[in-house]
């Protein structure tokens, strides 16, 4: 069997976890071929860790494209559109983690993938319910509401909160910081960009998906609740995320979700929508 050649762009918390899993758990089906990071030391360090040598680290994205059949983007929302565009135009499949960077260009992505015979994979990330949302969306959806609840300290440095004059240190009870369209939430709260973007893409779009962002001193985990009203019934999910030990901005479940998607790509039996 030919092994799927995988290249990873961005060797931080997510990229490193995926590289380790590919080498350790998927060695029969996949081969890690290239690692690229703007900070070359990151790619070299990861190559040494998983391969014992620095040879997987490549100096540029073009070299990574040449060596890979599936490219995993785990870099940044600023770069994900350019990375996806280049990968797809070379006919390479891409898994995108920085979803916020491509959400407004999803039609272009789809056309590029179609024209070049390539595929785009977007894992569910740190939320539960994408499976049911996709199924319900085949019928009719009336409403999708995402409620994100985080400790006030998580919103430190968020420009929108500072401009609104909210004193995070003084919040004693759950306080709504934002309520509105996903399209505006991703602009005001870049840290929530991936959850809102993935939910919007899987469902009724950024213009119709509603988002509420709440600061509560009573919570220590990042909580995402999703409420869906559809003609197939009402759906409610709640995810209480534990944070990734290497990057407190990233939920551990988001990493596992990418691994689960990789498993789906590599294994013959696919379960779930």
Ligand X SMILES: NC(=O)c1ccc[n+]([C@@H]2O[C@H](COP(=O)([O-])OP(=O)(O)OC[C@H]3O[C@@H](n4cnc5c(N)ncnc54)[C@H](O)[C@@H]3O)[C@@H](O)[C@H]2O)c1
Which residues are known catalytic residues?
A: 224
- Interaction between residue 179 and ligand X (CB under 6 A): no
- Member of 4, 30, 57, 97 binding ligand X (CB under 6 A): 97
- Member of 3, 20, 79, 232 binding ligand X (CB under 6 A): 79
Q: Is the dihedral of CA 66, 39, 50, 195 positive or negative?
A: negative
- Interaction between residue 192 and ligand X (CB under 6 A): no
Q: Could you say which DSSP state residue 244 is in?
A: E
Classify 65 as helix, strand or coil.
helix
* CA gap 240, 106 in Å, rounded: 28
- Interaction between residue 98 and ligand X (CB under 6 A): yes
List the structure tokens of 215: 């600061």
CB-based contact 168:215 (threshold 8 Å): yes
- The 10 Å Cβ neighbour count of residue 231 is 9
Q: Could you say which DSSP state residue 169 is in?
A: G
Q: Where are the beta strands (DSSP E) in the chain?
A: 4-9, 30-36, 70-73, 93-96, 120-121, 141-150, 175-181, 210-215, 222-230, 233-241, 243-244, 247-251
Judged by CB under 6 A, the chain residues 231 through 270 that form the site for ligand X are 247, 250, 254
Give the residue with the Cβ less far from ligand X, 88 or 254: 254
- Member of 4, 8, 10, 168 binding ligand X (CB under 6 A): 10
- Member of 42, 148, 151, 239 binding ligand X (CB under 6 A): 42
Give the residue with the Cβ less far from ligand X, 130 or 171: 130
Give the residue with the Cβ less far from ligand X, 57 or 171: 57
Residue with tokens 């696919």: 270
Give the residue with the Cβ less far from ligand X, 171 or 196: 196
Strand partners, 121: 95
Q: Which stretch binds ligand X (CB under 6 A): 24-32, 95-103, 211-219, 223-231?
A: 95-103
Integer Rg of the chain from CA = 19
- Interaction between residue 129 and ligand X (CB under 6 A): no
Judged by CB under 6 A, the chain residues 212 through 231 that form the site for ligand X are none
Give the residue with the Cβ less far from ligand X, 99 or 235: 99
- Interaction between residue 151 and ligand X (CB under 6 A): no
Give the residue with the Cβ less far from ligand X, 4 or 74: 74
- Interaction between residue 99 and ligand X (CB under 6 A): yes
- Member of 39, 41, 159, 162 binding ligand X (CB under 6 A): 39
Contacts of 82 (CB under 8 A, 6+ apart): none
CB-based contact 202:146 (threshold 8 Å): no
- Member of 6, 8, 9, 188 binding ligand X (CB under 6 A): 9
> What Å distances lie between residue 195 and 101, 135, 207, 262, CA to CA?
12, 18, 15, 19
- Tell me which residues touch ligand X (CB under 6 A): 9-15, 36-39, 42, 74-77, 79, 97-99, 125-126, 194, 198, 247, 250, 254
């Amino acid at each position: 069997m030919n092994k799927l050649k995988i290249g990873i762009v961005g060797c931080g918390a997510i990229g490193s976890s995926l590289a380790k899993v590919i080498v350790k758990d998927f060695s029969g089906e996949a081969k890690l071929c290239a690692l690229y990071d703007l900070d070359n030391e990151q790619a070299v360090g990861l190559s040494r860790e998983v391969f014992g040598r620095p040879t997987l680290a490549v100096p540029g994205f073009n070299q990574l494209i040449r060596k890979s059949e599936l490219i995993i983007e785990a870099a940044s929302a600023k770069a994900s559109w350019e990375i996806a565009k280049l990968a797809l135009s070379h006919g390479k499949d891409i898994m995108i983690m920085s979803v916020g960077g491509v959400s407004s260009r999803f039609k272009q992505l789809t056309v590029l993938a179609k024209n070049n015979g390539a595929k785009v994979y977007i894992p569910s990330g740190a939320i539960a319910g994408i499976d049911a949302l996709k199924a319900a969306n085949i019928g009719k959806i009336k409403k999708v509401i995402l409620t994100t609840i985080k400790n006030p300290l998580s919103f430190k440095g968020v420009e929108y909160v500072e401009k609104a004059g909210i004193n995070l240190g003084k919040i004693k009870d759950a306080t709504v910081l934002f309520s509105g369209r996903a399209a505006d939430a991703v602009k005001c709260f870049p840290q929530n960009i991936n959850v809102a973007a993935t939910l919007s893409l899987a469902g009724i779009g950024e213009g119709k998906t509603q988002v509420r962002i709440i600061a509560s001193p009573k919570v220590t985990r990042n909580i995402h609740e999703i409420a869906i009203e559809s003609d197939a019934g009402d759906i409610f999910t709640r995810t209480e995320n534990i944070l990734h030990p290497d990057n407190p901005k990233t939920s551990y479940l988001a990493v596992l979700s990418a691994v689960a998607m990789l498993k789906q790509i590599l294994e013959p039996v696919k379960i779930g929508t």
